[in-house]
Amino acid sequence: MERTGNVFNIEKFHIHDGEGIRTAVFLKGCHLRCPWCSNPESQNTQREIVVFDNLCTACLRCEGLCHTKAIYHIENKVRTNASLCDFCGRCVAMCPASARQIYGQDMSVEEVMHEVMKDAIYYARSGGGVTITGGEPLLQAEFVHDLVRACKSEYLPVAVETCGIVSWDKMWMGLADVDEILLDIKTTDPKKTAVIMPDGGDYIGILRNNIFRLREKGKNVIFRCPIIPGFNDTKAHVMSVIIWAKEFGIERIDLLPFHQFGKHKHRALGLDYVMEKDVQLKNEDMEELKMLVERADIACVIGG
C-alpha cells in the first residue's frame, strides 16, 4: 500500500519559501508551540473542523444538512461537536460565506503530485519548484522522502522548511535529496526555548548538531529568522544568528517580520492568541537588522 501523508493545504503560486513560482505543500503536525504561529491548524496531528466566527452569518444551512447532528447553534453562534463529526465535508462545500474549513486529509504521493504537476510549466519558466512545509514536515519524514523522490523524478527543484528540532535519522531521511533547506532559527538562547518548546528538551543542542551534519554533507542551508516583538526583535539576536552563520558557513539569512495572519485561525481553533496586541512589523522595520547581516558579508532577504 502506498504511504500517505496528512496534508492540510496545497498552495499554488507561492513566491516566497524558495526561488521562482512554487507550490507549497503543507503537512500537518508540529511539536513546537510558538505563540505567534501563523498556521496553528498545523499543530495538531489529527484532522480538525473549524468555523470562523468573523465570516459566519449564522444562516444555519450547515446545521440543517449535517447528518450526524454535529453542528448546533447557541445565540447565533454556530458550533461543532468534534466527537460527532465524520468530516464528510458537506457543510464546508455548502457554506455561502466560506466560514467552515476542514484541516487535514490523508493524501498519497501520487495525489499530491497530481496537484503539483498542474503548474509544471510555471516552475520551468520561473526557476521555481516545490516547497514542503508545515507544521513540521519532518515529523512525517518517510512521506517527505517519498514526495521528494517523486518531485526529483519529474526534475522539479525541492525545498523543505523545517525547525530542525527532530532526530538526525528523521532529518536526513527527509532532506537527503532536497535542493534547499529553509531552516528556522527562532532563538539561539537556551533560556528562551521554553517559550516555543514547553515540553522541554535540548533545543539548541539538537538544532546545532543537525545544522553541523547537514553542512558536513554539503547541503544548501538558508537560515530563516522570524522577528517577533518582545522575543527576539533585537540586534543582539540577529548578531547571534550571524555568528552561527559564520560558524557553519551559511551564506544567506532571511528576516521574516512578525504579522497577525494567524489571529483568526487561533480563535476558530479555540486557542489563545497572546500576540493580539503586538503591532505587525513591516519590511522597512527590518532594514537596520538587514544591514547588520550584510555587513558580515552574508546575503539577506526580507520576507524570504
CATH code for position 85: 3.30.70.20
Say if residue 35 is in the same domain as residue 169: yes
CA 134/CA 7 separation, integer angstroms? 9
CATH of the domain at 161: 3.20.20.70
Please give the residue range of the domain that contains residue 28. Answer: 4-45+105-302
Span 203-256, pLDDT tens digits: 999 999 999 999 999 999 999 999 999 999 999 999 999 999 999 999 999 999
**What is the arithmetic mean of pLDDT over 76-105?**
92
Q: What pLDDT does 96 receive?
A: 94
CA 277-280-284 angle, to 5 degrees, is 150
Say if residue 11 is in the same domain as residue 92: no
Say if residue 292 is in the same domain as residue 147: yes
Residue 189 has pLDDT above 70, yes or no: yes
Q: What pLDDT does 15 receive?
A: 77
pLDDT confidence bin for 264, thresholds 50/70/90 = confident
b/e sequence 138-149, b meaning 16+ C-beta within 10 Å? bbbbebbbbbbe
Span 57-87, pLDDT tens digits: 999 999 999 999 999 999 888 999 989 999 9
**What is the arithmetic mean of pLDDT over 244-270?**
93
Residue 108 has pLDDT above 90, yes or no: yes
The angle that helices 109-116 and 141-153 make with each other, rounded to 10 degrees, is 50
Say if residue 129 is in the same domain as residue 75: no
Say if residue 112 is in the same domain as residue 178: yes
Q: Identity (one letter) of the amino acid at 89?
A: G
Rg of the chain (C-alpha set): 20
Say if residue 93 is in the same domain as residue 198: no
Say if residue 31 is in the same domain as residue 62: no
130 has which bridge partners? 23, 158
Say if residue 68 is in the same domain as residue 29: no
Q: Work out how many domains the chain is built from and give that number.
A: 2
CA 99/CA 52 separation, integer angstroms? 5
Q: Are 13 and 119 in contact (CB under 8 A)?
A: yes
Say if residue 172 is in the same domain as residue 252: yes
Say if residue 95 is in the same domain as residue 127: no
b/e sequence 239-261, b meaning 16+ C-beta within 10 Å? ebbbebbeebebebbbbbbbeee
Residue-averaged pLDDT of the chain = 93
**What is the arithmetic mean of pLDDT over 123-137?**
93
Q: 3-state class of 175 per DSSP?
A: helix
pLDDT confidence bin for 1, thresholds 50/70/90 = low
Q: Which residue in the block uniquely carries the three cell numbers 510555471?
A: 122
Say if residue 200 is in the same domain as residue 230: yes
Distance (Å) of CA 223 to CA 83, 185, 187, 248, 287: 40, 6, 11, 11, 17
**What is the arithmetic mean of pLDDT over 35-47?**
92
Residue 18 has pLDDT above 80, yes or no: no
Say if residue 109 is in the same domain as residue 84: no
